[in-house]
Chain A
Amino acid sequence: MDFPIFHLDFMGDRLLIAIIAVLHVLINHGLAVGFIPLVTWIEYLGFKKGGKNAIVNNEWDQLAHRLMTVAFIITTTIGAMTGVGIWFASSLVNPASIGSLIRVFYGAWFVEWTVFVTEVVLILLYYLSWKRSLVSIEAKAKHIKLGAALSIFSWITMSIIVSILGFMMDTGSWVENKTFIAGFTNPIYIPQLAFRTPLAALMAGAIGLFLTKLFTKNGSSFQQDSSKKIALWMLLMLPFTLAGALAYYFKIPELMIGNLPVAVGTMDFQSWYDLLVKFIIGALTTVLLIAGTVYFKPKLKIPTIVYILPVIGMLGFAGIFERIREFIRKPYVIGNYMYSNTLRKEDYPLFKRDGVLAHATYSPVKEVTEDNKLLAGEQVFMLSCSRCHTTHGINSVVDKFENMYSLKAGEKLNGDLMKNYIKHIENARYFMPPFPGNEAELDALVEYIKHLQEDGTPIDNPVTSMR
């Protein structure tokens, strides 16, 4: 509406954000929030095990240092940049929604930023002063405290972000009174936090166990001892993760639950939803089995490849939850306030009255006429469908209609049926927002989609061409 429209017509705009966000969450949870306390704990164990004449037990300390090297390099590059990337991608794909969120959450984000700066300073200090901490007992004790402080700060960073994520799913009382506190204490906050905290620790455990297997000598007693500790860490986190997942699941507002099956993949695979539940149970069971074996039967020889299973399981588990979170707030980007086509719910009466084009700043046409029908149709598509559909790429609107009407190759779309469908689109499939425009715009949209089906190429004009 108020911004030039950025549109990736092959991969789709949703995928852009999804890739960046999922990567970020996996790194943030698996290598920062959950991982740093694990590293600090191992460092502490090494400190305790240091004999009479040594400050630390070298094997333990080196393991902690190596684990931290991995975390340091990845979090300060991909981790940090995907964090910024979420802002960049949102500012392109959903400027109105990220802009609104910033207006509401500026304070929280600003506080978050100070915590985040502290976190970065601490991680630099913690990692880069590792060698220097080995000179005396006092220095090492201080270093471990630094690790503890860093753990706390990464958890606080996450807990603030979670509030904002929660808000996007359920705006609570914010829509009525639009205050910061109302947004911040939205009902889904605590369940999310209760879920993500042990989840992060469990992911970190899975990654830590795998890396330990790589970093230690196979079959050595140190490998057994250290793996056993990490396995214990995982076993302790497992029940909390399960409980957290349930708490989270039951709090997700009813309508969103209704969306869950579609969220998991495409509609064709609705029945896969059962599979998802099985996948989660499967991932947690794998973790249970492998961590349990390592803990109770440390001498058993397990090939390295097996250690990858819990990592994949946990990353997949977390990734699927993120995907669902991203999807279940549909048809809204900000629950009950802004639809995922980035139009505000409260503006709909105006659009119904005047049409969307009349209020679209960058549309070269403001009213549909016989001559400009296709151009107008394209604009209507851009405004009301393009945040989720492409013309011919992923989630193509043409394919969607063809498949829905079970058309055979070469069969033409029927405009009247499509019009009727789009008019009731929010009833037919409630993850889609209602069509915002007027009758003439509906007509133009349908003409445009039919044109796409025949022609195969989207029309190009300076306002919507890709930049």
Chain B
Amino acid sequence: MFNHILLQTPVPRDLPLDLPLPKEVLIVLLVFSFLLHILFVNLMVGGSILTLWSQIKGLKDKDYDTLAHEIAETITVNKSLAVVLGVAPLLSINALYTVYFYSANALTGIFWISVIPLVTVAFLLTYAHKYSWKVLENNKSLHISIMGLSVAIFLFIPLIFLVNINLMLFPEKWNTIEGFAHALTLPNVFPRYFHFLLASLGTTGLFIFWYFGRKSYDFESHFTTLTRYEIRKKAYSLTFGASAAQFIIGPVVLLTLPTKGFSWHLIFTIGTGVIFALPAMYWIWKGITGKAEDIANNFWKVALTLGLTITFMGSGRHIYRATALAPHQKLVEAKTIAYEKEVKKATEEMKNAPAEKPASDSPGETIFQAKCSACHAMDVKVVGPPIKEMVSIYKNDAKGLHDWILKPGKKRPDYPQMPALGLSEQEINDVANYILEQK
């Protein structure tokens, strides 16, 4: 019988509080704030990978060490923005998908919470790395290992998030999933992961292209042999290569998604995104293969079209989720309404039930049953001494009994302390009288 229940799709109830804003507004906020967040996450992850790569290359060629240092400077800023920009999508997904998000969190609990210490450590490592460039000049292997460790953490964290976001989509698995490692094996986690990594590299390529191309950037004072053009060409090539690979990984992501979330709307949205990427690829290619002075000619057009691609992909991601969860959300809604009705009914029934007869006619005994009987009985020790013992202590001292109940204390070494119970003056007198009547 247990198995029977375990194999069913759980249908929890939603919180019985209205959404804070109309649903559509929340969705728009969710999609856009998420894109903003993920942009800086991409730059943080991509930037740290490139720093590591460049610094290793820098062991042979000093200019690459300088390049690594320059990129490292940007990680500190991008990572702070990545975190703070993550709050808005977190809030919105909490409000919109309360049941789904929290269930996925709970099912991968230890890993979910370990995001906090892991990211903290990775951040501290990036600072340690950035500020120890001079100090560790002669101990490059240690210096590079610091970055290596931080890159390793940055590469692991996205998996935790992806597993959660993925698990949200499958209420039918919630009863049988056993933790993070198990959830990793759901189809689609790894394709999405590589999709994300490629996006990080592609975005960072564009960022570097822009960063080292700025007029205000005093290139020559930093580099001796590397030229602006070389760096920009490399950055563009990275974006090109990563985006080209997306044309393979992208379809894999789509095909490994369970079909329950497919719709023409989804295909159309993703397709539009792909179409915008095509001219961008063409312009980048022209930049890489064209004359050195023309490399930046189409940069803003590239950034804009790829930006549109990402926006469409992000919306597609939401459309898939909405379609995949719609049937389950209906069940949840129906269950919530039915449940609230039952709550009302049970509350009414309780109100209308003939007032429960007090435990006794004597108010003192009633209070004793409610407030004292958890710890005291007539003639055996429970938590505190039996009534018999109280009577023997206080039979000629009603005031003493009153004072004890008002402000109990600690007397017997082998008993715990009796807590104050917050009774009114009248109640104390009633219960004290009741005790003293027991002979």
Q: Please list the residues of chain A having a beta carbon within 8 angstroms of any beta carbon in chain B.
A: 1-6, 16, 20, 73, 76-78, 80-82, 84-85, 87-89, 91-92, 95-96, 98-100, 102-107, 109-110, 113, 116-117, 120-121, 123-124, 128, 178, 180, 255, 258, 262, 267-268, 270-271, 344, 346-347, 349-350, 352-354, 359, 361-362, 364-366, 375, 403-406, 417, 420-421, 423-425, 427-430, 462-463, 465-467
Q: Check A467/B414 contact, CB under 8 A, given A77-B127, A427-B371.
A: no
Measured CA separation A359–B12 after assembly (Å)? 9
Q: List the one stretch of B52-60, B260-268, B342-350 in contact with chain A.
A: B342-350
For window 42-90 of B, CB contacts with A under 8 Å fall at 76-77, 80-81, 83-88, 90
Residues in A with CB closer than 8 Å to B76 are 76
Known A-B contacts: A81-B123, A82-B116, A100-B15. Give 13 more (CB < 8 A): A77-B120, A81-B119, A85-B113, A103-B19, A103-B95, A109-B87, A116-B84, A121-B81, A267-B419, A362-B175, A421-B375, A423-B374, A467-B180
Measured CA separation A269–B127 after assembly (Å)? 43
Q: Is B252 an interface residue (CB 8 A)?
A: no
Cβ B101 vs Cβ A91 within 8 A: yes
Measured CA separation A103–B12 after assembly (Å)? 18
Q: Check A352/B350 contact, CB under 8 A, given A109-B91, A267-B417, A405-B383.
A: yes
Residues in A with CB closer than 8 Å to B279 are none
- For this complex, 8 residue pairs linking A to B, each with C-beta atoms less than 8 Å apart, are A6-B105, A16-B113, A80-B123, A102-B95, A107-B20, A349-B347, A352-B350, A462-B178
Residues in A with CB closer than 8 Å to B135 are none
Cβ A88 vs Cβ B116 within 8 A: yes
Q: Is B433 an interface residue (CB 8 A)?
A: no
Nearest residue (CB) in B for A95 is: B102
Cβ A124 vs Cβ B20 within 8 A: no
B 178-205 to A, binary, CB cutoff 8 A, 1 in contact else 0: 1110000000000000000000000000
Residues in A with CB closer than 8 Å to B109 are 6, 92, 466-467
Measured CA separation A424–B419 after assembly (Å)? 14
Cβ A3 vs Cβ B106 within 8 A: yes
Measured CA separation A76–B81 after assembly (Å)? 10
Q: Is B248 an interface residue (CB 8 A)?
A: no
Q: Check A4/B107 contact, CB under 8 A, given A104-B20, A361-B10.
A: yes
For window 1-47 of B, CB contacts with A under 8 Å fall at 2, 5-6, 10-21, 29
Find B346's partner among A88, A353, A362, A406 (CB 8 Å cutoff). Answer: A353
Nearest residue (CB) in A for B86 is: A84
Q: Is B99 an interface residue (CB 8 A)?
A: yes
Measured CA separation A368–B101 after assembly (Å)? 30
Residues in A with CB closer than 8 Å to B419 are 262, 267, 270, 428-429
Measured CA separation A456–B77 after assembly (Å)? 51
Measured CA separation A113–B419 after assembly (Å)? 43
Cβ B12 vs Cβ A3 within 8 A: yes
Find B80's partner among A106, A120, A366, A463 (CB 8 Å cutoff). Answer: A120
Cβ A92 vs Cβ B106 within 8 A: yes
